[in-house]
Structure 1
Amino acid sequence: MPTSSKARAKRRIAVLEEELEMIRQEKGGKQRKTTFYVSQGRAIRRLVVLYHSVEDMIAENDRRYEFRSSLESTAEQDRLQRGYVELTRVLPWLHERLGDLDQGDSEDMLRKASNLKKGADAARGDDTSSLKELVATWVNQEFRPSPLIKSNEKYSRGFASDICGMLLCPAEWDWKQNSVKTGIRDRTTEYIVSENSWPLFLYENYQVNSDDLEEGLLKSKLLVLAFKAVFTSPSSAREAEGDGDGADVLENNRRARLRSDQTKVKTCVASIINMKKVTPRAIAYVVCQVRFALSSVLSWRTVDADFDYEAFWCNIVDFFEDTPGPVTRRKVEKLLEWWTR
């Protein structure tokens, strides 16, 4: 039975509108998925690995699963595998989805990994930017240098600054000695600052026991303040006094949840990424961020003169995770207890 051209046109318009709405919904769904993976990725640099990719950790886990009968591994591979374990703790859905992948899903997984990386690098950049100003403020409050460290620029930081130079100086050297100060600034062979030394800013009260370089290590007020700023909020960092209590992420999470039941509040990073305790890799991340904030380098990079940030991060992680015996293991456990109590 024939119909009018007007009626047919209306039906075609209705079909096109329906198709357009379906396209919009599909596009919106893809955008929501992208946003989800970018958001999830923000935990990776902070809690898992500072430099390696998600693909590196997955590949190492696959290698161990496929060749476990004749497995040999390097220290770097062991660190990567521990990173994969931490990754699955931080992103528990990831391991299950990897196990369900078939050949046709590989391209989709690459897109997800790319979005995770976007989130990871964005979070690192955000923290670098905020700590640039915050660290300058804290150093000025703590040491009252003259002139004060400018919060909006870095040219006057690093070893050119007496106070930043002191905090960056390896613990085994005395920055107050002119020979040390001059040698570091001139980069003489006797005073090469590398990732293989612990800088002074890591120590409690910024003092070192030359007979025991592990005494007070990783207990500085500056670290606690930075940790609070990254994982809770900059305002909560003002409450920290450097005794360990200021870094009680678990308690901050609990308080945030209690407040959210009563009123709308801005959730802290630790709650968003479901961080239940202070971890070695979270500490290592903050250490590298503070070191960078004290330096005169303008943009994030792996190597600063003779100092390698990636190797430095690995040294801190290994200090916690690759302990040589039970006595050292207990010392590390006590240090983590100090951070989360």
Structure 2
Amino acid sequence: MSESGEDEHTRPLSSSSARKRPHSSALELGPRKKATTQDPLVHHGRHFGRAIHAFCNIQTLIVNGLLRMSERMNEPDESLTAEERREHMVFRELLRQVPGLEKRMMESSEEDVIIIAELIQKGANGARADDTKGIKSAVVDWITPKGQALNPHIHRNVKSGRGFNHERTGALLCPAGLDWSNTEIKAKLVNGQIQVAGDQWPLMLYANYSYDAEDPWNGLLRSGLLVNAFKHTFTSPSSVDQEPKATRSGNARIHGMRSVTKPSIAYIATQVRFALTSAQVFSRTDHVTDSERFYNSILELLEDPEEKDEVDQLMTWWNRQIFPVYADPERLPSKDSALARIREKRAALLIGGRKLLSSG
């Protein structure tokens, strides 16, 4: 406000000031704005949330990780609790993913470390929001039978008609072990008499949406719905309906992702489950969808050493779905191939060398 009481934005321009101010027209684009450069940490944060840990408090993770590195460097891992070991493993994976991050943090003040954490968190949150929006729309196509239509119709950007309110999404969200075709069970799911906890996994996780109570590992986390969502998120939306190519693209290629990670499977399962529900807002504290508990329960199974054989088979299966050039390291080379002959000769030389040593 000027001394005369006139606001500078409303006071009439003098002829001299009018000449100095550049002409602007609503029908002209005007000067191009300078592009803002986004910190690379935001970019890395997007991949961290998708492929390393989706519900992580980045600031706490970094602060705790740095403290362990400085104060407990010489202590054995056995001195940590199981939760601390798991958290530190996630922290080390973050350092591995982001080149130069450890050095940058070691040379930063406490305030700068907090800023670093905020930038990574921004990326993780932004990716989750983008994926939630994208899968919410695309999932309608994936659950619609070829050449048919859903009845009633599900709007791509509206969630109120989903969840147990719709026959198709209800069947996919029905907890394994419950019979969606049972009228009484269906009614209780619809009216909320049966509350579904996050660790009650839905049929949509299973191949052909079929659950075998005698063999609960059979088909688990191998549904076509999950594969579609993974491709949509990590390779490209167009790769869902196309034959896989021998090259990586999209987010996977950008971040140098050459194989599927266990957290990425849990993340995609969580996103698909949420997309099928009628819940409007994706929130870690939402007790209706219980998304964080759902995510962690899948991750705990995949990281359980007791389940290693089944998990290894599952990871090999996933890598062959997403990365066609993926090779099982235990797969033997083709019989009579040059590679097979090279390995045979190497083995023969080693055996011969051992015999000479033993005879001498």
- 1:159 corresponds in structure 2 to 164
More helix as a share of residues:
1
Count of residue pairs brought into register by the alignment: 283
What residue ranges of structure 2 are gaps of 5+ in the alignment? Answer: 1-33, 321-360
1:173 lines up with 2:152 in the alignment: no
- Whether the 8 Å contact between 1:140 and 1:148 is mirrored in structure 2 is no
Deviations 1:290-326 (A, max 9, x none): 01100111121124444421121111111111232xx
> CA offsets per residue over residues 136-189 of structure 1, 9 Å max, x none?
11112368431232112111001111111111111111111111111212222x
> Which residue does the alignment assign to 1:338?
317
AA aligned to 2:309 is R
Aligned to 2:228: 225
SS of the counterpart of 2:305? coil
SS of the equivalent of 1:300 reads: coil
The answer to whether residue 292 in structure 2 is matched with residue 310 in structure 1 is yes
Q: Which residue of 2 aligns with 1:215?
A: 218
Write the mapping of 1:70-85 to structure 2, written as runs, cut at 5 A.
Answer: 72-85=79-92
Superposed, 1:1-341 pairs within 5 Å as: 32=37, 34-65=38-69, 66-67=71-72, 68=75, 72-98=79-105, 100-101=106-107, 105-141=109-145, 144-188=149-193, 191-239=194-242, 251-253=246-248, 256=249, 268-324=250-306, 328-341=307-320
SS at match of 2:55: coil
Q: Percent identity?
A: 35
Q: What does the per-residue CA deviation read over 1:106-131, in whole Å, with 9 as the maximum and x for residues that have no partner?
A: 22222222122112111111111111
Aligned-partner Cα distance in 2 for 1:220–1:213: 14
Q: Is the Cα contact below 8 Å between 1:37 and 1:112 reproduced in 2?
A: yes
Query: Partner letter of residue 87 of structure 2?
Result: L
Cα separation, 2, equivalents of 1:89 and 1:312: 27
**Which ranges of structure 1 fall in alignment gaps of 5 or more residues?**
1-27, 241-245, 257-267
User: TM-score, normalised on structure 1?
Assistant: 0.76
1:90–1:274 Cα contact (<8 Å) kept: no
Asked if 2 retains the 8 angstrom alpha-carbon contact of 1:232 and 1:252, the reply is: no
Letter in 1 for 2:41: Y
- Paired residue for 2:10? none
Q: 1:41 deviation in Å?
A: 1.7
Judged with a 3 Å threshold, the aligned counterparts in structure 2 of structure 1 residues 320 and 139 are, in CA distance, closer, same or farther, namely: same
Residue deviations 1:224-253, cap 9 Å, x none? 00000000111101126xxxxx6x9xx432
Q: Whole-Å Cα distance in 1 between the matches of residues 213 and 78 of structure 2?
A: 41
- Structure 1 or 2, whichever has the larger Rg, is 2
Instruction: Report deviation, 1:284.
Output: 0.9
State the TM-score, normalizing by the size of structure 2. 0.72
Task: State how far apart, in whole Å, the 1-side matches of 2:275 and 2:140 are.
Answer: 8
